[in-house]
Amino acid sequence: MSVKFFYGTASAHHDEVLIEEAGKWLASGVQRRVFYLVPNHVKFETEVNVLHQMSKQNQTKVMGTLSLQVFSFSRLAWYFLQNTAYYQSNSLSKTGKHMVIKTILEEEKESLTVYQGEVNQTGFVEQVASFIDELLQANIQAADLAQIHQRLTVDQKDLQLKLTDIERIYGRYQAYLQEHKIEEDQLLVNLSEYLVAEDLSDTLFIVTGFTRFTSQEQQLIQSLMKQAGNVWFDLVLDQAAVDKMPAAHNLFYDSGKLYHQLYHLARQANIPVEFDQKTNNQRNPDLLALDNYWAESQQPTGKKIETKLQDNQTLSIWKAENPQAEVEHVGREIRRLVAQEGYRYKDIEVLYRDETNYSPRFAPVFNGLQIPFYFDETQTMKHHPLVEFLEALFSIDERYFRYQDIMRFLRTELFLPNDDGNSTQSEWLANRLAYREAVDVTENVMLAYGYEGGHWTREEDWHYINYISEEGQPETRDQQIERQSNQVRRELRDCLVPFFEQLNQASLGKDAALCLYQFLVAIGVERQMIVWRDYYLSQGKLEEAKIHEQSWQAFIHLLDEYVDILGERPFDKAEFVRLLMFGLEDFEYGKVPTTLDQVKISVLDKVHAKKNKVTFIIGATDQVLPAKLENTTIFSDDERVLIDEQLNEEQFLLPSNSQSIMKEPFVAYLAFLSTEERLYLTYPLSGEKGTVGKISPYVLRLAKAFDLEIQEKLLMPASECFDLSFVGTDESFIEMSVRLHRQALDFKSSLASGWQQLHERLLKNGAPILTQRYRNVMKSLTHKNIPETLQPATVEKLYGDTLYGSVSRIEKFYQCEYKYFMTYGLRLKEREVFDLTPATAGELFHEALDLIFKELINSQKTLADLTEAEIMSLSETILQQLFEERKYMILSASSRMNYIKYQLSQTIKRVAWALKRQSERTGMSIFKTEVLFGEIAKEKGYQSLTVALDNQKQMKISGKIDRLDRFVDTKTGQNYLSVVDYKSSEHRFNFEDAYEGLAMQMITYLDVALQNAVSLVGEEAVKPAGAFYLHIQNPRLKAPIKQDVLDEKLLTEFKYKGLLLEDEALLEGLDVSLEPMKASAVYDLKQLKSGKLSSAQTLEQSDFDALITHNRQLFKEAGEKIYDGEVNLNPAYRKKVRIACGHCPFRSVCQFDPMLKENNYHRLETLKKDEVIARLKIDQKEAE
Find, among 717, 714, 728, 716, the residue nearest to 320 by Cα. 714
Cβ–Cβ < 8 Å for 174, 141: yes
Beta-strand relationship, 228-236 and 200-208: parallel
The answer to whether 515 is annotated as binding is no
Phi, psi of 277 (to 5 degrees): -125, 115
Phi, psi of 479 (to 5 degrees): -65, -40
Instruction: Quote the CA–CA distance of 1009 and 1004 in Å, as a whole number.
Output: 9
Beta-strand relationship, 925-933 and 954-968: antiparallel
C-alpha 572: how far from chain center: 32
- The CA angle 452-456-459, to the nearest 5 degrees, is 140
Tally the residues of the chain: 1184
Cβ–Cβ < 8 Å for 886, 893: no
Which DSSP state fits 695?
B
Say whether 249 sits in a helix, a strand or coil.
Answer: coil
Burial of residue 700, with CB atoms counted within 10 A of its CB: 0-12 exposed, 13-18 middle, 19 or more buried:
middle
Bridge partners of 603, per DSSP, are 352
Buried/exposed code over 266-301 (b: 16+ C-beta within 10 A; e: otherwise): beeeebebeebbbbeebebebbbbbbbbbbebbeee
Give long-range contacts, CB 8 A cutoff, 24+ apart: 652-659: 652/138, 652/215, 653/134, 653/138, 654/134, 654/214, 655/212, 656/631, 657/629, 657/630, 657/631
- Work out the number of other CB atoms within 10 angstroms of the CB of residue 434: 14
Phi, psi of 1137 (to 5 degrees): -110, 125
The answer to whether 1144 is annotated as binding is yes
- Work out the number of other CB atoms within 10 angstroms of the CB of residue 313: 12
Find, among 184, 228, 647, 653, the residue nearest to 220 by Cα. 228
Instruction: Quote the CA–CA distance of 365 and 330 in Å, as a whole number.
Output: 10
Q: Which helix (H) or strand (E) holds 236?
A: strand 228-236
Which DSSP state fits 238?
S
Buried/exposed code over 845-866 (b: 16+ C-beta within 10 A; e: otherwise): bbbbbbbbbeebeeeeeebeeb
Instruction: Quote the CA–CA distance of 1164 and 990 in Å, as a whole number.
Output: 13
Side chain identity at residue 751, one-letter code: L
Residues at the annotated binding site? Answer: 816, 1144, 1150
Residues at the annotated binding site for [4Fe-4S] cluster? Answer: 816, 1144, 1150
